[in-house]
Every structure is written in C-alpha cells, then in structure tokens.
Structure 1
Amino acid sequence: MYNWYFVVTIIISLSLVDCAVIAKEDDVEEQGLYSKSDKVVILTQRNFERKVYNQRHAVVVQFYNSYCGHCRAFSPKFKAMAKDFAAWKPIIQLAVMDCANEENNEICRQFEVMAYPSLRYIHEQYIKGNGNVGDRIQMAETAEKLKAQVITKMQNEQSKGHLAFAPNFSIASYASYASALNDIPNDVTYTFLVFENENSTVGSEIALDLNDYQHIKVKRIRENSELGYIAGVYHFPGLVAVRSTLEPTNITPKNPSQQNLLKAINMFLKSKNYVFPSRDINHKDTIFIEHSDEKSLVSSSDIVYYADLEKTLKTSFTTEITRHKSLTGEALRSLLDYLEVLRSFFPARGNLRDYIIDLHTTLGSKQEWSGSEIYETVKRLEITHAPVYTSELEYIGCKGSQPQYRGYTCGLWTLFHTLTANAAQSPGTEGPKVLKAMHGYVKHFFGCTTCSEHFQAMATRNRIFDIKENDKAVLWLWIAHNEVNLRLAGDVTEDPEHPKIQFPSVSKCPECRSARGAWNLPSVYQYLLNMYKKENIWDLRRARSIAARSSPFSNLDIGMLSLLYIFCLFILILVIKFFLTKRFYRKRHYKHGRGTCRLRFAIKRLQNKNIFHNLISPWDEIVKRLRIVHLYSWHVYLS
C-alpha cells in the first residue's frame, strides 16, 4: 500500500515539474529593452496568444524594435507608466514585443506594424482574427500624456459595453448627495466625489488607483454641477469624501493634481483607521539593471569587423525586409536596389555572395510579395547556400556597453560606409547608386520610424540625389553620419562608454584637420577609403590575435610562464621528498639509538668479508645475500 502511495506521489511530482518547465519555456524574463522587473508582460511568438487573446483584462501592447533609437528613448517613459499601471493589473496590463527578434517577426507582420514604437489597445476577451490587430494609440511626449490617452480610450471602451468589471468612468451632474450616492452599494463606507471637466481623466485615474480598496468607491461629477456649489468646491478638480450616512468632507488640496488628490484620499482614510490593501510597495519601485562587463575584443572606432557586417545583414534580411504584410511598387524596387548594391559592392566571404545573388534574382521574379513569402524565401535560400555566414553573428566593434545601446544602428552605418567606399574604388561612378539604395532602404524598411523621417528630411536638405561623383558620395554619407552624431550627442540613446563624436577624431587622423580645426576633405576621403576597404575588414580570428598580443602577456610570455610553473612544481616535489626522507632517518636514529651504530658496524664487517663483492651477479644471488644482511642486522639490533 505504501509503495503504491510512494509511486503515485512521484508521478504527480514529476508532472508538476514538467508543467513548471513548460511554463518557463513559454515565458521569458527579459528580451530586448525590457524585463519582467519593469512591470510589463514580455511577449514572444510562443506566448502571444496565451497572453493577449481571450483575457479577462485589457492589454496595451507596444510593438518596438530594440535597435531603434526612438524606441530606446521611449522605453523609460513606458517603464514609468508601467509602474503606475501595476495596481491596475486586474483591469489592464502593459505588454511589449521586440520585433527585432526574428522569432517574433510573424506576429509583428500580422499586426501590420510598420512604425516603431507602435501601441495597440486590445480589449478584454479579444478574439484572434485576420482583421483584429487592436486599436492604435497615438504616441505622446511624456508618460503622463500617454497614460491620459490610454485612460481616455478605456472611458470610450466602457461606453461601448467593455470593461464592465472596471470602476465606473462615466460622469454626470447631481443636485444632492443622496442622488449622487443613489446607485452606490450598501457595503461602501466612503464615496469620493471628483468634480472635474468632462474631458479630464483625473477622476478615472483615481478610480483605477483605488480599484482594490475594499468598501471604497470613486464617482466623477461635472464641475458645473449644482452639487459642486452645495459642497463648496471652487477649485477644480475638487474632491469631497462622503460617508454612507451622507456626511460630506471637503478634502480638496491647494494644488489639486492627481497625485495630491490621491494623497489626500489616503491621508483621510488613514485618519479613519482604514485598513489598506496589501501591496508590494517596496518591489514596485525597484528596477533591476544588469550591466555587462564584457568588452569588445579590440575597442577602436577605426576598425571594421566582418562579424558586424554579417550580423547587420542577417537582421536586415530576417527582420526588416520581411515586416511588410505586402510588398510591391516603390518599396519592392527599393528592396531590389538594396540587394543590387549588396551583390555588387559588399565584400562577401564564403557563400554569402551567392546567397545575395540568388535572393536578388528570386525577389525580382514577381511584382508583389507578402512578408511571409519573403521570410520563407530568405530561410529557404539560407539552407540552400549553407553555411551563409562565416562569423559567430555577434557584434564586436558595434557592441554596446549595455544591450540597448548601439548594435544594429551602428552596423547599418558601417554597412553603407563600406558599400560607398568599395563602390568608389570600382570602375565608373557607382557611389551615388549606393546613396540612392540607402535612401530607399531607410525610407521603407528601417524599423525606427522617427530615425527614418529624420534621415529623409536630412537627405532632402542636403540634396542626396544631386550627388554624381564617387568621392562626393563617400563624403556625403560621412557628413550625414556626423550630423546625426551631433544631433544625438548627450541623448538618452547615447552609449556612455561610446560617446558620439565628430569622427575621425584628431588622435585617429591628425591630417584630417587643419591647424585651425577645419576638415581637410581630401585626407578625410582617403581615411574613409582606407578604413572601409575590403582588405582592412577584420575577421574574428584576427581580432582575437590582436587582443592576445595587446594583453599583458603575449603567447611567448605564457609559454615561459608555463615552463616556469612546471619547473617550480618539480623543485617543490624534490623539497617535500627531501624533508620527508630526512624526517624518516631522524625518526630511526631517535628510536634505535646505539643499535643503529651497531648495524652500521655489522654491515661494515660484512663488506670486509666481500659479501657485496659482485653486484652484477644473478638476481637470486643478490636477493640471497640481501637476506643475509637483513637477518644479521636484526640479530645485531636485538642483541
């Protein structure tokens, strides 16, 4: 009986463990710019349906691109808003999805995400369908303005019959306290009346903040209501606490902001010995930030790594050009122009060139492609030409001090610098063709929408399509890059360990500046050609070799240290053996005293009798004579 009970217990335990493992595989603790400590739901291809559809609460999903500068700048605002939304979890939750992750590409394409970041409101019990891609929410400059937009959306949704389980967001006018509290349940102890404008969101936000307060209700009253005169509210938004017995208390603070109103409510309830709901307050304001101590192999802005270029192409092919739901017309032509300059001027290694040529030919065979078809083509040709990539597909020169810095944006600049430099060294005037392809790519495929708009405006202002010579194409891109660096210097997206400077620096290229600091354009041009030409692009092996030589110990030093270590170990063994042997002899001398001297004397007598005269005699003779010595020595010792 007990054996069967033991077996059943083990089976149940294993099944529970298995379930826990499955849940862990579906959910991730961190991805892209966010982690669970930011109070957001991390969405992936594997958990999207489970976390979004048929939920009992509404969801605001941010589709973003982790390498998009605007997304990086927006993430602190979204995280700040998520902290305020933490108490609203039963009603609405904030979720994020990194569209730069290849795994999530299909979901982002289904939701027709063409700009980053993109916010979608998804109401409760939302059903999966081709046309169900959520309601778009406009971006805002601050977290407070964005939060107000979300609350306005919730108010409108409730007026349509959704969010029935949420606090009542409606606003009305009343002539007396009795009429205002007419629909309040009997178990409510205090009702807080918020007098405000109909377009205000303060009352609704306070109602959401207090949604888990037991026996407490919040009600919105129009500021021009007759009840406002009765309550003596002259500053708006105004706040009046009304007991169930209709006893009012005006608690409007001098500065009636949302935070001050909430503070006034909590102070009032505290004075009434109200039992507040238990919340994880300490954890609410805690944000864990992991700092990576891993450095790039050789940190230098003058070095171009082939791994950076391959990683950039991989992201471009699998994530950016596949995000369109449908690709045709100008966008498709821009993609083919991009692939054309890649096949002509990219310094491909291994099978990558054949892969690009095949991809260009295949995508040029139709007038219209869906994003899923392009993705399937990209993956199929990867298998056909495998291995396509020769590196470990990790950023080296473009690696940021933290995951949210640099990466793909740095790689894309490096890629187009490489293309213009190599096009300038080809016969003819091919450099302007690269600029045209870059403009089309950034316009239609680059995931950072704001960055794309800035680039297009700069391209128009600096007349990108008027460039006709190779050297001017190289220098145009260099000027554009420095202009972007100047604009983003000191921005929240700037990597503190890789500040945005006007490159090349004086230390890297002294001849690129005149004595007065002005640019020497011919020297800059030669510098760029030399930096980005294919012969100077580093692979991973070269980087590691240079890193080893630049380390405190060279390979020769390491070899000498190894030999020294072995020699010291050998000496240590000899010293230990010497002391152990010496200790043994001392012990025998101490134990036997004069007997040892007698033994030596007896052995001397045996030697005089030539017992050890022939050491090369047969083995049995040697053993026999040694036995004689052994027995005689014991005889002397015992005597």
Structure 2
Amino acid sequence: MMLIMNLWNLSTLLFILPSLINCAVIVNDADIDEQGLYSKSDHVVILTQRNFERRVYGQNHAAVVQFYNSYCGHCRAFAPKFKALSSEIVPWRNIIQLKVIDCSVEENNEICREFEVMAYPSLRYIHEHYVKANGNVGDRIMMTDTGEKLKSHLITKMQTEQSMGRLAFAPKFDIASYTSYAGAVAGVPHDVTYTFLVFENENSTVGSELALDINDYKQIKVKRVYDISELAAVAGLTHFPGLVAVHLSTLQPTPLTPINPTKQNLLRTINTFLKSKQYIFPDRDIPDPEANTNEHSDENNQPKSNTDTVYYSDLEKTLKTSLYTEITRHKILSGEALNALLSYLDVLKTSFPYKTNNLRDFIEDLYNTLQTRMEWSGGDIYDLVKKLENTHAPIFITQLEYIGCKGSQSKYRGYTCGLWTLFHTLTVNAAQKSGTKGPQVLRAMHGYVKHFFGCTECSEHFQAMAARNRLFDVKENDKAVLWLWISHNEVNLRLAGDLTEDPEYPKIQFPSVSKCPECRLARGAWNLPAVYQYLENMYGAANIQEFRKSRSAASAPSPFSNLDIGMLSLLLVLRVWADSLLD
C-alpha cells in the first residue's frame, strides 16, 4: 500500500512539475516598470537580461534599442530627447517600438557585450522577426542632437527597410507621380473612405510621418506624391508639402494645405477635416505623460552626507562597478586595452586604502592571472572576477551603496562621482608612500577612462584635457595630486549648469571658501600648500569613513614645501582660475 501511495505522489509531482517550471520561467522573465534612466511611463520597453530575448527576437514589429549607461552624462542628457520622441510616436507602436537597456546593470552586461556596444548611448535598429545569431547586433543608427532629427533618421531607415521588402504591415512609404486623382487612388482598398495625398519632394519625411501617425485610423490612407508631378498642378498647389483629401467613391478632391504646412499643422488639418465628416477616431490607450513627473522620492528628504568626507562604501561600490561591469563589457581585451587594465590593477594593488586583506588578495590574484594571457574575452574576465570573488570571499565589507556620492535623484552623481573619488584617493595615498607611484596613478586613470569609462563623450573630453594639461609630463607624487585636483575643477567649470548637474550639489571650484577658508588668498587666488593639505586630509586612508558619520578635521604635515611652483603655474590654466569665475 505504501508503495502505491509513493508511486501516486511521484506521478502527481511529475504531472504538476512542468506547470511549476513554466510559472518559474514566467516570473523570472517578467518585465519591470523602472530601471536606470527610464520608467514604463516613458512609453519605452525596459529591457533586461531576463526579458531581452522575449522582447527583441521574433517580434511582429520593428524596434530601436538604446544601449545606455545610467551614469554616463551624455546618456543622461539624451534621455529627455528619447523620452519626448517615444511619447510622440506612441501611435506607431504596432509598427515600431522604442526599447532601452541599462548596460551599467551587471546582469545586463553580457547582452551589451554580445551586441558589441562600445559607446554610450548607442542606438540599434532591429527589424521585425529578428533572429538571434552571431553577428546579429542590429543596424547602427547615427546619434543626433535633437529628437526631431532622430525621428527623421528613423523614418528614412524605415523607408529603406520597406524598399527591401520588410515592414509590409506598415503604411506604404513609396512616392510616385500621377496625372489624375483616379490614378493616385488606384489600388487603394475599396473599404477606404478618404485618401490623403501628401505632395512633397523625395527626401521629405513628412508624408511618411503622417502615414505613421494615423496608421490606426480605420478606412483612411495616406499616399505620397511628387511635388513636381502633373497632379500637383491639377490640384493648384503652390507651396509644399501640399495636402489634398480624395473621397474614394466620388474622387472628389478637397484641398487642405495649411498656410504653414508643418507636419503638426498638416496632422491638425486632417483631424479637423475628419471631425467635420463625423469620423469616429480610434480609442487610443495612451498613458498620461504627466503621470510620473515627480522624480523626487522620500529619500531625498533625508539629510545629505558630508561631501567633505570620503566613505569606504563609495570606493567599494565604484571598484565593483569598474571590475564587474565596465571592464567586462569589452568583447575582446588585448594590446593597449589589456595593458590599461593591468596598469589600473597595479595602482589598486599599491595605493587602494584596503581595510581587509581579502580585497587586497583578490586584486593581486586578478592582476597576476590576467598577465598569463595576451588576450581575454570580456566574458572570461567576468567569470574570472566571479571565481576569484568566491575564492577570497568576502571581499567587500560595506553595503556597496553610495553615501558621499549619492545624488538627490538616482540619475545624478553616483559612479562618476565615485570614480573621481577613487582616483583622488589613489593619488593621495600613492603620494604618502615611497617612490613615485602618483604619476603612475594618473597614467592608469588616463588608460582606464580611454578604454573602459562608459561615457564616450566624457572620455574624449578627458583625453583632450590630459593632452592640454600635459598629464604625461607629471613626474612627482605631489604634482600628481594637484594635477588631478586642477583637472577636476576644470571639468566642474565646464559642466556647471549642465543638464547633468545635480541641482542640490552644484559643480563649484573646490574646495569652497566655507570648506577651506585658508585655501584662498587675496582676491580668490589659490593657496596651493593649503589646498594640498586639504586634499591629503580628505582622501588620506586614515580619514576614510566606513559609515555616514562626521569626523573632525585631520591635520598632518604637508610635503608641499618642495613642490615645484613653476610646474603648477603652467598647469593652472588662467581661464579656469580667472577671478570672475571664482565662487
């Protein structure tokens, strides 16, 4: 009897197991409402490692996928333009959708690597029924400085796609010449009531955009007609784009061209005309774009951390992001890029303010292992990092949360602040050791930013600044500390008032007078020895805090007396330190 019961239980388990597995897959594959710089209310599809295949491959619509990095300043500046475009083209969603994936999220890293994303933000066009395969990384779409230009590029791409036989389910984007209205509407389905003829030149995208905007209007079609065709003269058009409504059964034309024939005015004219004909418009389920305008959360009311303090948690979180996400996004690392990684690890070995031997051993083991090969894939490095993490666990002692670098909103500060903090810390602690490791830290930073930093535009700015301010001419530790301080202030000056600036943490020339009164001389000139001591106090290993708490100002003897003032004077670019720009 017991045997029979056991067999029954086993058969029951085998019967329900597939359902349990399917449920588990569905949960794991679920969409999320918010990640990085975007939320569902932005009318974009948020992609993650969990839903990417389901949401990208084999779809009945085309897509534009934005690969971005949430701490990249260029990505942050581009996000409002992408959101505005996504809101504007909601009516196109059965034809093409905008989708986003945050490559700064560790779990998404493998996908970004497979798609060979080396610059952020990157846009890829994915045609309908796209198949997963090696080399299928979508078609690159050129970045633009406005959403309107991006929309124009996108329409041009869709016109090309349709000419190649794809997007058959979309409105027809081709353009032709006609001599009569009968010829223009020939071939239009019999159930169509009105056809709107848009007269324009071949390079215009207005007609195609109108066709997409009203693609869900029942019994309505849009057709593009050359502005130089005979029918344009028949219609009596004198300025373009021109618009004429043609009733299909009677061939009765109604000229509709507005005085200012922009796309918006043309669309407004079409809708006004249809309203006058008692046309029943489609019921569009479009979310309220104002539904998620308040990006501030309750956490923003919490007391701000002391920005004059370096927190160990900030350093650990930055280090983890760099090793687990930024470096491993490369498909292949060799040559200069691999050497840059080794240089970065080398300065971490000697100058990072370790609080445990576990993390130190992890970095040394990683450095030694990477030297054994001339080429590594990003995937292999990620696997190696995870393996060594287990070997030396636990390597992190904090909650891996930003404290000093926490912004007033999630889109501000964070990793970029953390990276500056990390390299300031490395230069200061290198300067406190024997030898000349400080300049080596600068060179390692240059290599890291050039090859790994996830903001392409920021990387280019830094490399240009490094050449202008003669980074590779710095030969001594104390000069390295001050070179980085000078350069950081130059970046602050350039980005002050920028869209990416946290309004609650304005980018100033630091240290401010309130933080370090002795750092300024008459008329605001810098007191360099005092600045050096300020940097030493702030970034020195002995003063780094694990948790959010105040500290008394540390005082230590400064090695500044031997600093070559002539060298610093050369680096202190006058335009940066002009009196009128000092706070």
What's the TM-score once normalised by structure 1's chain length? 0.81
Deviations 1:426-453 (A, max 9, x none): 1122211111000000000000001111
Are 2:485 and 1:481 aligned? no
1:336 aligns with 2:342: yes
C-alpha separation between the residues in 2 aligned to 1:158 and 1:355? 53
Aligned equivalent of 2:320: 314
How far the C-alpha of 1:282 sits from its partner, in A, is: 5.9
Q: 1:364-385: CA deviations, max 9, x gaps?
A: 1100000100000010000000
Amino acid at match of 1:453: E
**1-structure distance, mates of 2:257, 2:195:** 14
1:26 matched to 2:26? The reply is no
- Once residues 282 and 419 of structure 1 are traced to their aligned partners in structure 2, the CA distance between those partners, rounded to angstroms, is 48
Deviation at 1:61, TM superposition (A): 0.3
Contact 2:41 2:287 in 1 (8 A): no
1:433 aligns to 2:440 (yes or no): yes
Aligned to 1:413: 420
Counterpart-to-counterpart distance in 2, 1:331 and 1:20: 40
| Matched residue type, 1:212 | D
Distance 1:304 1:284, change over 3 A: closer
More helix per residue: 1
The counterpart of 2:77, out of the listed 62, 73, 89, is: 73
Give 1:141-540 correspondences, 5 Å limit. Answer: 141-244=145-248, 245-281=250-286, 283-284=288-289, 286-294=291-299, 299-350=305-356, 351-540=358-547
Q: Distance in 2 between matches of 1:298 and 1:189?
A: 62
Distance between the aligned counterparts of 1:399 and 1:220, measured in 2?
Answer: 52
Secondary structure of the 2:196 match is strand
Structure 1 residue 293: Cα displacement: 2.7
Give the Å deviation of 1:545.
7.7
Cα RMSD of the aligned pairs, angstroms, is: 2.0
CA distance in 2, matches of 1:546, 1:530: 11
Q: TM-score, normalised by structure 2?
A: 0.89
- Residue 45 (structure 1) shift: 0.6
Deviation by residue 1:524-562 (Cα, 9 ceiling, x = unmatched)? 11111111000000012xx25879xxxxxxxxxxxxxxx
Cα pair 1:83 1:285 within 8 Å, conserved: no
CA contact (8 A) 1:416 1:434 kept: yes
> In structure 2, what residue type is equivalent to 1:155?
Q
Q: Is the 8 A contact 1:297 1:396 kept in 2?
A: no
Q: Is the 8 A contact 1:121 1:136 kept in 2?
A: yes
Question: Is the partner of 2:298 in helix, strand or coil?
Answer: coil
Q: What SS does the aligned partner of 2:524 have?
A: coil
Q: Is the 8 A contact 1:352 1:389 kept in 2?
A: yes
- Letter of the aligned partner of 2:107 in structure 1? E
Give yes or no for contact 1:37–1:288 (8 Å, CA) kept in 2. Answer: no
- The SS at the match of 2:328 is coil
Match of 2:555 in 1: none
Deviation of residue 173 (structure 1)? 1.0
Unaligned 5+ segments in structure 1 are 1-10, 548-639
Which residue of 2 is the match for residue 120 of structure 1?
A: 124
Equivalents in 2 of 1:271, 1:24: separation in Å?
50
Alpha-carbon deviations, 1:116-137, whole Å to 9, x = none? 0000000000000011000000
Deviations 1:291-322 (A, max 9, x none): 22325666222100000000000000000000
CA–CA distance in 2 between the matches of 1:276 and 1:16?
44
Partners of 2:364 and 2:28 lie apart in 1 by 41
Contact 2:306 2:550 in 1 (8 A): no
Q: Deviation at 1:19?
A: 4.8
Deviation at 1:20, TM superposition (A): 10
**SS of the residue 2:288 aligns to:** helix
Report what 2:61 is aligned to: 57
Secondary structure of 1:224's counterpart equals coil
Q: What is the rounded CA distance, in whole Å, between the counterparts of 2:205 and 2:220 in structure 1?
A: 19
Distance in 1 (CA, whole Å) between partners of 2:442 and 2:342 is 14
Match for 1:440: what amino acid? G
How far apart are the structure 2 equivalents of 1:379 and 1:206? 51
* Alpha-carbon distance between aligned partners in 2 of 1:478 and 1:93, rounded to the nearest angstrom: 44
Q: Is the 8 A contact 2:427 2:481 kept in 1?
A: yes
Equivalent AA in structure 2 for residue 304 of structure 1: V
The aligned length equals: 534
Task: Say if 1:478 and 1:193 are closer, same or farther in 2 by CA, change over 3 A.
Answer: same
Q: 2:312–2:544: 8 Å Cα contact kept in structure 1?
A: yes
1:546/1:157 CA distance change after superposition, 3 Å:
same
Structure 1 90/68 Cα, relative in aligned 2: closer, same or farther at 3 Å? same
Q: CA deviation at 1:424?
A: 1.1
Structure 1 residues 20 and 212, CA gap change in structure 2 (3 angstroms): farther
Distance in 1 between the 2:287 and 2:42 partners? Answer: 14
